[in-house]
DNA sequence: GCATTCTGTATTTTT
DNA sequence: TACAGAATGC
């Protein structure tokens, strides 16, 4: 490693880098150079001669994993391909691909995302002959997830769904499918019940690192503890003040458990903030101090006070959008900021709409992360479903999704018969269909049979090609072509071929992604499964080249964790949004988590922070008045500047500027 | 089997 | 508001 890299570390950071053996707990405040510290630490370990293949580093999001891989590469000058750097979930998936047979699944299992799980629950309910309106698939999926992860227990209220829960579990297993929770739970089960298997992994991995440790669930913690207890070399990095995923089972009590489980662990606190101005840090500190349930820390900075935190009071959300758009434009003109250095952070995805509209109107390029992700779009999901059935023909949920999409004459009645046949013989739907194509006891007339045969041979032909792992993109193009997906899109959207074309372009970019996956030199052994793993676990569309473009970043606070921007805008800082009404309804103690969320939002800003407090907002159908967020009263008045009127760049100045830009690109 | 109309209801946050 | 799912009709 270049020794200069060490020079940029402070005393505590250096200490953290130097301690590579044993257990280490790093409490890293917001902006305290955490990522730099742990990437340096990995680099130092490699320098020491520790093999990259012995290191397992887990992060919370794919974005963070990629960022870290990128930085390690930058430090060591080498692509550390052997290094395992992934999210908990993709690590779990990887482990299961190797070892799931110990639990009686086949290695080509499907991974069900939330939507798939909801369908599976509905199917299970169907099998139990529940009436359709007795089940709210979405709510049940949350309940089942809670039960599975141990976050919830059966009580009087939900006890009626116990049977369905069991049925759902059986359904998954018989279809050779796992859900997101299983990606953590099943590896944990394997490792805790099969000592030989545990040994294999303990031998393979001897150094462990967990980023965003405050957001690990108890199952995730248990998983890593099993692996790490042999070597004892484990470093976890976290900040209890930034724990914002408790609704997903995150438990920063793991920080305390860690100290118990690894009694010789050392603790290092990183408390110097390098990111924000003194003003911003001051506000953040005075906010978070209102939380009772936290580890004491003292985050400080050597930087200047910087400018005030500005508050704005637009009439409603539309005006708020316009106001923000105009401020951004004005900054662009007056201070020549880069758009990519602006973050607009919202509490809920629904808030993005008026903002997007305003940015569009002002021609501000924007990168939205969140909302319906690319992979959730119907057309992309359809294609993915085909791929999943290719990989795992027992995957009934995905079979159901595509067996008549585009329409090919396999409708409700036909399906009913396929089902009946399958139940009798204990076949999956796809196998039943295959059997019924030629079976002597087939109940179908000739014409119908031909529809089935045609579908089946298409699937067999393309499935065979896909499984070879070669020319997959080409095969998918063929699939789109042969199924007539484009004409299907047109008939689905009569008189609106813009939508059809948009959807088709999504399909094309999906195929492009497959193609670049196939050609990616970092992917050692491209396969259909590998690609499916990747796309079901990457929910946010974070294509790499979008980063290089100069766009402002519009996203939820949750997904902004770990990021930083020179200028941050927080729209909709009103009661009911932050803290979110729903969250408090659930449990009034959630106020502390909401406060942490606001804390995370504030601490994303390096230089400037704009907080917007609209006086009215849309709620469902109607418009209602709203009060400023109570958290605002927890910020010290002396760092705030209230702006009653909007300061706008004169239109002429703006036009002139943008004409100049346009001229340059002509 | 398929297209149309109608109805309800809502998801706050993400792997 | 907007979307998904059900009911209805052809």
pLDDT of residue A370: 64
**Is there contact between A412 and strand C, defined as CB under 7 Å from any strand atom?**
no
**Is there contact between A260 and strand C, defined as CB under 7 Å from any strand atom?**
no
User: pLDDT, tens digit, for every residue of A389-425?
Assistant: 999 999 998 898 888 878 887 877 788 888 888 888 8
- Burial (CB < 10 A; 0-12, 13-18, 19+), residue A324, is buried
Strand B and chain A: which residues 244-273 have CB closer than 7 Å? 244-245, 247-248
Q: A472 CA, B8 C1': separation in Å? A: 42
Nearest nucleotide to A353 (CA to C1') is: C1
**Is there contact between A73 and strand B, defined as CB under 7 Å from any strand atom?**
no
Residue nearest to nucleotide C2 (CA to C1'): A620
Least confident interval from A16-30, A72-86, A357-371, A548-562: A72-86
pLDDT of residue A372: 63
Q: A321 CA, C2 C1': separation in Å? A: 21
Q: A653 CA, B15 C1': separation in Å? A: 46
**pLDDT exceeds 70 at position A3:** no
Least confident interval from A22-36, A145-159, A365-379: A365-379
- Burial (CB < 10 A; 0-12, 13-18, 19+), residue A298, is exposed
* Separation between Cα atoms, residue A135 and residue A138, nearest integer Å: 9
Question: In the structure, what pLDDT confidence band is assigned to residue A4 with cuts at 50, 70 and 90?
Answer: very low
* Separation between Cα atoms, residue A666 and residue A662, nearest integer Å: 6
Residue at token pair 């903030």: A273
Tokens, residue A205: 């991995």
pLDDT of residue A662: 58
**Is there contact between A413 and strand B, defined as CB under 7 Å from any strand atom?**
yes
- The residues of A that are catalytic are 34-35, 211-212, 242, 604
CB A164 within 8 A of CB A130: yes
pLDDT of residue A409: 79
| Average predicted confidence (pLDDT) for chain A | 86
pLDDT of residue A339: 92
**pLDDT exceeds 80 at position A20:** yes
Nearest nucleotide to A580 (CA to C1') is: B12
Q: Which range, A359-368, A442-451, A536-545, is most confident?
A: A359-368
Q: A24 CA, C6 C1': separation in Å? A: 57
Least confident interval from A264-278, A433-447, A471-485: A433-447
Nearest nucleotide to A248 (CA to C1') is: B14
pLDDT of residue A496: 67
pLDDT of residue A190: 96
User: pLDDT, tens digit, for every residue of A185-219?
Assistant: 999 999 999 999 999 999 999 999 999 999 999 99
Instruction: Give me the mean pLDDT over the A85-101 stretch.
Output: 93
Query: What are the Cα distances from residue A575, in Å, to A310, A554, A620, A624, A627?
Result: 18, 21, 16, 12, 6
- Percent of chain A with pLDDT strictly greater than 70: 91
**pLDDT exceeds 70 at position A6:** no
**pLDDT exceeds 70 at position A653:** no
Q: What angle, rounded to 10 degrees, do the helices at A378-391 and A472-483 form? A: 120
Question: In the structure, what pLDDT confidence band is assigned to residue A581 with cuts at 50, 70 and 90?
Answer: confident
Instruction: Give me the mean pLDDT over the A163-172 stretch.
Output: 90
User: pLDDT, tens digit, for every residue of A314-332?
Assistant: 988 888 999 999 999 999 9
Q: Is A304 helix (H, G, I), strand (E, B) or coil?
A: coil
- Percent of chain A with pLDDT strictly greater than 90: 43
Instruction: Give me the mean pLDDT over the A118-125 stretch.
Output: 86
Q: A132 CA, C4 C1': separation in Å? A: 14
Chain C nucleotides close to protein (CB under 7 A) are: 1, 4-7
Tokens, residue A374: 């690319």
pLDDT of residue A379: 84
Question: In the structure, what pLDDT confidence band is assigned to residue A283 with cuts at 50, 70 and 90?
Answer: very high
Instruction: Give me the mean pLDDT over the A242-263 stretch.
Output: 87
Chain B nucleotides close to protein (CB under 7 A) are: 1-4, 10-15
* Strand ranges (E), A474-633: 552-556, 565-570, 605-612, 616-619, 622-625
pLDDT of residue A361: 87
Strand B and chain A: which residues 297-336 have CB closer than 7 Å? none
Q: Which range, A232-241, A247-256, A297-306, A580-589, is most confident?
A: A232-241
Q: Taking Cα atoms as reference points, which of A467, A353, A480, A318 lies closest to residue A406? A: A480
CB A121 within 8 A of CB A140: yes
**Is there contact between A482 and strand C, defined as CB under 7 Å from any strand atom?**
no
Q: How is chain A split among helix, strand and coil, in percent rounded to 5?
A: 55, 15, 30
Question: In the structure, what pLDDT confidence band is assigned to residue A656 with cuts at 50, 70 and 90?
Answer: low
Least confident interval from A206-215, A265-274, A397-406, A461-470: A397-406
Strand B and chain A: which residues 474-493 have CB closer than 7 Å? 491
* Separation between Cα atoms, residue A650 and residue A622, nearest integer Å: 34
Question: In the structure, what pLDDT confidence band is assigned to residue A666 with cuts at 50, 70 and 90?
Answer: very low
pLDDT of residue A288: 94
**pLDDT exceeds 60 at position A120:** yes
Residue nearest to nucleotide B1 (CA to C1'): A411
Instruction: Give me the mean pLDDT over the A343-354 stretch.
Output: 89
pLDDT of residue A661: 57
Model's pTM, two decimal places? Answer: 0.87
pLDDT of residue A632: 94
**pLDDT exceeds 80 at position A243:** yes
Task: Find all residues with CB under 8 Å of A435, minimum gap 6, and list them.
Answer: A421, A425, A427
Nearest nucleotide to A620 (CA to C1') is: C1
**Is there contact between A664 and strand C, defined as CB under 7 Å from any strand atom?**
no
* Separation between Cα atoms, residue A534 and residue A531, nearest integer Å: 5
Residue nearest to nucleotide B12 (CA to C1'): A348
* Separation between Cα atoms, residue A328 and residue A312, nearest integer Å: 14
Q: Which range, A325-329, A355-359, A379-383, A648-652, is most confident?
A: A325-329
Strand B and chain A: which residues 117-136 have CB closer than 7 Å? 136
Instruction: Give me the mean pLDDT over the A229-233 stretch.
Output: 93
* Separation between Cα atoms, residue A170 and residue A173, nearest integer Å: 5
pLDDT of residue A285: 94
Q: A665 CA, B15 C1': separation in Å? A: 41
Instruction: Please give the backbone phi and psi of residue A188, each rounded to the nearest 5 degrees, phi first.
Output: -60, -40
**Is there contact between A620 and strand C, defined as CB under 7 Å from any strand atom?**
yes
**Is there contact between A445 and strand B, defined as CB under 7 Å from any strand atom?**
no
**Is there contact between A621 and strand C, defined as CB under 7 Å from any strand atom?**
yes
Instruction: Give me the mean pLDDT over the A422-440 stretch.
Output: 85
Strand C and chain A: which residues 86-145 have CB closer than 7 Å? 132-133
Residue nearest to nucleotide B3 (CA to C1'): A492
User: pLDDT, tens digit, for every residue of A139-164?
Assistant: 888 888 888 888 888 888 788 888 88
Instruction: Give me the mean pLDDT over the A457-481 stretch.
Output: 92
């Amino acid at each position: 490693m270049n020794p200069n890299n060490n020079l940029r570390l402070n005393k505590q950071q250096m200490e953290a880098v130097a301690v590579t053996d044993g257990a280490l707990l790093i409490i890293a405040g917001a902006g305290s150079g955490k990522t730099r510290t742990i990437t340096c630490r990995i680099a130092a370990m490699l320098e020491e001669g520790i093999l990259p293949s012995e290191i397992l580093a887990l992060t919370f999001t794919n974005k963070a994993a990629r960022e870290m891989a990128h930085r390690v590469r930058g430090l060591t000058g080498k692509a550390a391909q052997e290094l395992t750097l992934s999210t908990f979930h993709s690590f779990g998936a990887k482990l299961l691909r190797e070892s799931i047979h110990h639990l009686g699944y086949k290695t080509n299992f499907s991974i069900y995302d939330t939507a798939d799980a909801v369908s599976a629950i509905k199917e299970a309910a169907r099998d139990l002959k529940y009436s359709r309106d007795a089940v709210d698939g979405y709510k049940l999926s949350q309940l089942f997830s809670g039960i599975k992860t141990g976050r919830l227990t059966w009580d009087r209220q939900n006890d009626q769904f116990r049977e369905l829960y069991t049925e759902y579990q059986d359904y998954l297993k018989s279809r050779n499918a796992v859900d997101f929770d299983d990606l953590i739970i099943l590896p944990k089960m394997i490792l805790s019940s099969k000592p030989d298997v545990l040994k294999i992994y303990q031998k393979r991995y001897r150094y462990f690192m967990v980023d965003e440790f405050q957001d690990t669930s108890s199952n995730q913690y248990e998983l890593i503890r099993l692996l790490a207890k042999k070597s004892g070399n484990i470093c976890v990095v976290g900040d209890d003040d930034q724990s914002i995923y408790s609704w997903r089972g995150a438990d920063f009590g793991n920080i305390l458990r860690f100290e118990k489980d690894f009694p010789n662990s050392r603790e290092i606190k990183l408390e110097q903030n390098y990111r924000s101005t003194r003003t911003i840090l001051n506000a953040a500190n005075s906010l978070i101090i209102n939380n009772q349930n936290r580890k004491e820390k003292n985050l400080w900075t050597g930087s200047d006070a910087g400018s005030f935190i500005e508050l704005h009071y637009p009439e409603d959300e539309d005006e708020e959008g316009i106001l923000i758009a105009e401020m951004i434009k004005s900054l662009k003109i007056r201070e020549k900021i880069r758009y990519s250095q602006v973050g607009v952070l919202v509490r809920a995805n629904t808030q993005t709409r008026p903002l997007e509209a305003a940015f569009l109107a002002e021609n501000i390029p924007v990168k939205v992360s969140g909302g319906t992700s690319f992979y959730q779009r119907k057309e992309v999901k359809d294609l993915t479903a085909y791929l999943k059935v290719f990989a795992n023909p027992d995957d009934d949920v995905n079979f159901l999704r595509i067996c008549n999409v585009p329409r090919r004459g396999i409708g409700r009645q036909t399906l009913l018969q396929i089902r009946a046949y399958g139940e009798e013989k204990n076949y999956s739907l796809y196998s039943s269909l295959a059997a019924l194509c030629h079976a002597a006891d087939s109940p179908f007339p000739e014409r119908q049979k031909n529809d089935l045969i045609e579908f089946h041979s298409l699937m067999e032909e393309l499935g065979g090609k896909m499984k070879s792992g070669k020319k997959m993109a080409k095969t998918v193009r063929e699939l789109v072509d042969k199924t007539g997906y484009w004409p299907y899109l047109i008939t689905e959207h009569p008189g609106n071929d813009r939508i059809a074309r948009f959807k088709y372009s999504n399909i094309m970019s999906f195929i492009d992604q497959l193609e670049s996956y196939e050609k990616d030199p970092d992917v050692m052994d491209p396969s259909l499964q590998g690609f499916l793993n990747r796309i079901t676990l990457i929910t946010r569309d974070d294509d790499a080249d979008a980063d290089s473009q100069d766009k402002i970043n519009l996203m939820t606070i949750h997904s902004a964790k770990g990021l930083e921007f020179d200028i941050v805008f927080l729209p909709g800082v009103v009661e009911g949004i932050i803290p979110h009404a729903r969250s408090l309804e659930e449990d009034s103690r959630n106020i502390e988590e909401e406060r942490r969320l606001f804390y995370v939002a504030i601490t994303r800003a390096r230089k400037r922070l704009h907080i917007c407090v609209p006086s009215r907002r849309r709620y469902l159908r109607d418009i209602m008045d709203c009060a400023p967020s109570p958290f605002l009263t927890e910020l010290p008045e002396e760092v705030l500047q209230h702006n009653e009127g909007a300061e706008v760049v004169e239109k002429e100045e703006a036009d002139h500027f943008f004409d100049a830009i346009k001229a340059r690109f002509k």
